[in-house]
């Protein structure tokens, strides 16, 4: 647990920039890494230094442990922040970082490993007295055993990959006859995605909410829970919109969830920031789903209602300092909502979109936070996750936050490729969502109806701005480029960036 002064940020996009900002506010130096596709990304410019780590495919850059460690060595970093995704939940990476004499900004590898195997995590939670979704706590050997477990639990059930993540290797079984072939496809999907094909069986809960609890733990034995996030607005088990707090959680339920979450984290010797995911049944019972042993995409909604900078706390804990969270911060204040702005076309089954962002006008004003990984001129490719930015708003009540999100979404202008913006506007205008009447099947049930709705007045503003910007750009492209700059003019790097943004 040594103090450090320079951090390698082993990630890209919005989360790399988020971590770099936290480093700077904490008085630390930052070193970014980037693949050839991310040369012009904002995180590269924001860091004190930036190291190229290879070709665009993640396997050749952001997932290449040797290159990351070499980048840390070459720039004299003493610590590595993995962000989320990529190597963040790979225990061998945490171990390799430690072996190289660097501090891994995250939990001990033993905690990552214990929670990374979902059946082991379920066994541990059971032992710690945390309720788990009914189902097996060991992998099932084959579809025959899965069938008998399904009969014991009662249909419907879910087949789940023990190494699962991102909804991969998960299959819903409503009829016994579906089991055999579903077992095979789930197994091969899991093998392909995680290199581990083992599956287990879990009771499928009807219309639960996804409620998760943020925890922070330090080396002084303190484990605190920063309340819950409501993450029920999902598509194919992927979160789209998150809120804090949840309208379904009373102070008494929050206390019980927090107790379960801190018990869960404490039972694996957790350190730093982590998230315990639960399913909350309509009956009010909650069940442990999994623990994410890393920073979460949706962490900002918690930051806004608890007044805590989670990334800065991670940096402190990793240096052996005590958490700065005081007990007064353990009550939520107001309401926060996050919309994930992705390069996906909601009108084409959320097909990932590629292209150059020709114009980008982020929303601003009171209570608005824009955590973006891209800016105008950047090219969006299929190499990485389609998340462009997170739009987060805070309001003193949920109704204020909702109005503010609608206002902010109307201010947002993205020209060059489709995004999820108009889907979010439709959700904000939906009476069911406004009532907080949501569960994990929300998108399945109302997605198509929302997308068919006429939203012209809501979208008039961004569309008009986009059209005007496009016309202006076409005019600019028709005029000859300016003469070469004088030797003491702007840096060639800046000019290159500018050319890129106009050329695309």
Q: Which sequence positions are flagged as catalytic?
A: 294
Phi-psi region of 169 (alpha: psi -120 to 50; beta: other; left: phi over 0): left
Cβ neighbourhood burial of 404 (10 Å; 0-12, 13-18, 19+): buried
Stretch in the footprint of ligand ADP (CB under 6 A) among 28-36, 44-52, 59-67, 199-207: 199-207
Q: Does 501 bind ligand ADP (CB under 6 A)?
A: no
Per the omega criterion (within 30 degrees of 0), is the bond before 195 cis?
no
> Considering beta carbons, is residue 97 or 249 the nearer one to ligand ADP?
249
Between CA 49 and CA 65 the distance in angstroms is: 19
Q: Report in angstroms how near the CB of residue 340 gets to ligand ADP at its nearest.
A: 15
Q: Which of 194, 204, 286, 443 binds ligand ADP (CB under 6 A)?
A: 204
Q: Which of 143, 210, 312, 390 binds ligand ADP (CB under 6 A)?
A: 210
Residue 440, CA distances (Å) to 90, 162, 168, 185, 226 in order: 27, 21, 16, 23, 22
Tell me the two tokens of residue 227: 């309340």
CA 283 to chain centre: 28
Q: Which of 152, 174, 237, 449 binds ligand ADP (CB under 6 A)?
A: 237
Q: Report in angstroms how near the CB of residue 342 gets to ligand ADP at its nearest.
A: 16
CB of 228 within 8 A of CB of 244? yes
Stretch in the footprint of ligand ADP (CB under 6 A) among 23-31, 47-55, 205-213, 306-314: 205-213
Q: Report in angstroms how near the CB of residue 222 gets to ligand ADP at its nearest.
A: 27
Q: Report in angstroms how near the CB of residue 38 gets to ligand ADP at its nearest.
A: 26
**Helix then strand then coil, % of the chain, to nearest 5:** 40, 25, 35
Q: Does 42 bind ligand ADP (CB under 6 A)?
A: no
CA 253 to chain centre: 25
Stretch in the footprint of ligand ADP (CB under 6 A) among 203-211, 265-273, 407-415, 478-486: 203-211
> Considering beta carbons, is residue 161 or 308 the nearer one to ligand ADP?
161
- The residue count for binding ligand ADP (CB under 6 A) is 20
Q: Which of 42, 82, 106, 208 binds ligand ADP (CB under 6 A)?
A: 208
Q: Which of 23, 77, 133, 409 binds ligand ADP (CB under 6 A)?
A: 133
Between CA 368 and CA 433 the distance in angstroms is: 20
Residue nearest to ligand ADP (CB): 440
Between CA 20 and CA 31 the distance in angstroms is: 8
Helix (H, G, I), strand (E, B) or coil at 458: helix
Cβ neighbourhood burial of 26 (10 Å; 0-12, 13-18, 19+): middle
Residues 154-183 that bind ligand ADP (CB under 6 A): 158, 164-167, 170
> Considering beta carbons, is residue 68 or 112 the nearer one to ligand ADP?
112
> Considering beta carbons, is residue 162 or 360 the nearer one to ligand ADP?
162
Q: Report in angstroms how near the CB of residue 277 gets to ligand ADP at its nearest.
A: 5
Torsion, Cα 125 130 132 134, to 10 degrees, reads 110
- Nearby residues of 125 by Cβ (< 8 Å), 6 or more positions away: 131, 132, 264, 267, 288
> Considering beta carbons, is residue 312 or 340 the nearer one to ligand ADP?
340
Q: Report in angstroms how near the CB of residue 208 gets to ligand ADP at its nearest.
A: 5
Residues 245-284 that bind ligand ADP (CB under 6 A): 277, 279
Q: Does 440 bind ligand ADP (CB under 6 A)?
A: yes
Note the residues at the interface with ligand ADP (CB under 6 A).
133, 158, 164-167, 170, 202-205, 208, 210, 234, 237, 277, 279, 289-290, 440
């Amino acid at each position: 647990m040594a103090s450090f002064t320079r951090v390698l940020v082993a990630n890209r996009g919005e989360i790399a920039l988020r971590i770099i900002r936290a480093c700077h506010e904490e008085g630390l130096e930052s070193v970014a890494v980037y693949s050839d596709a991310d040369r012009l990304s904002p995180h590269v410019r924001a860091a004190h230094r930036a190291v190229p780590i290879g070709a665009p495919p993640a396997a050749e850059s952001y997932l290449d442990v040797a290159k990351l460690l070499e980048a840390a060595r070459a720039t004299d970093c003493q610590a590595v922040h993995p962000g989320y995704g990529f190597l963040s939940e790979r225990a061998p990476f945490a171990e390799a970082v430690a072996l190289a004499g660097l501090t891994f900004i995250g939990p001990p590898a033993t905690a990552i490993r214990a929670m990374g195997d979902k059946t082991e995590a379920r066994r541990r939670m059971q032992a710690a007295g945390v309720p788990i979704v009914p189902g097996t706590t060991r992998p099932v050997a084959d579809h025959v055993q899965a069938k008998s477990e399904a009969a014991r639990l009662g249909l419907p059930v879910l087949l789940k990959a023990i190494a699962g993540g991102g909804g991969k290797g998960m299959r819903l079984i409503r009829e016994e006859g579906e089991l055999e072939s579903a077992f095979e496809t789930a197994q091969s999907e899991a093998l392909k995605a995680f290199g581990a094909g083992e599956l287990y069986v879990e009771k499928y809960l009807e219309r639960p909410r996804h409620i998760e609890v943020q925890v922070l733990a330090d080396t002084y034995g303190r484990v605190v829970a920063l309340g819950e996030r409501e993450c029920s607005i999902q598509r194919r088990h992927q979160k789209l919109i998150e809120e804090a707090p949840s309208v379904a959680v009373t102070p008494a339920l929050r206390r019980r969830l927090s107790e379960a979450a801190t018990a869960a984290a404490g039972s694996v010797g957790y350190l730093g920031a982590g998230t315990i995911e639960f399913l909350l049944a309509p009956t009010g019972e909650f069940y442990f789903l999994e623990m994410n042993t890393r920073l979460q995409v949706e962490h900002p909604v918690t930051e806004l209602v608890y007044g805590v900078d989670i990334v800065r706390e991670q940096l402190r804990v990793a240096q052996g300092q005590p958490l700065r969270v005081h007990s007064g911060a353990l009550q939520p204040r107001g309401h926060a909502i996050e919309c994930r702005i992705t390069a996906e076309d909601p009108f084409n089954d959320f097909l990932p979109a590629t292209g150059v962002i020709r114009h980008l006008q982020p929303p601003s004003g009171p209570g608005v936070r824009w955590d973006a990984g891209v800016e105008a001129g950047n090219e969006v490719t299929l190499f990485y996750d389609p998340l462009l930015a997170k739009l987060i708003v805070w309001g003193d009540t949920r109704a204020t936050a909702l109005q503010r999100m609608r206002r902010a979404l109307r201010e947002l202008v993205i020209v060059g490729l489709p995004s999820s913006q108009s889907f979010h506007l439709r959700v904000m205008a939906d009476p069911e969502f406004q009532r907080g009447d949501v569960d994990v099947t929300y998108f399945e049930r109302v997605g198509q109806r929302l997308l068919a709705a006429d939203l012209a007045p809501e979208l008039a503003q961004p569309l008009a701005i986009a059209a005007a910007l496009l016309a202006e750009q076409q005019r600019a492209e028709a005029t000859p480029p300016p003469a070469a700059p004088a030797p003491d003019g702007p840096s060639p790097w800046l000019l290159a960036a500018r050319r890129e943004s106009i050329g695309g």
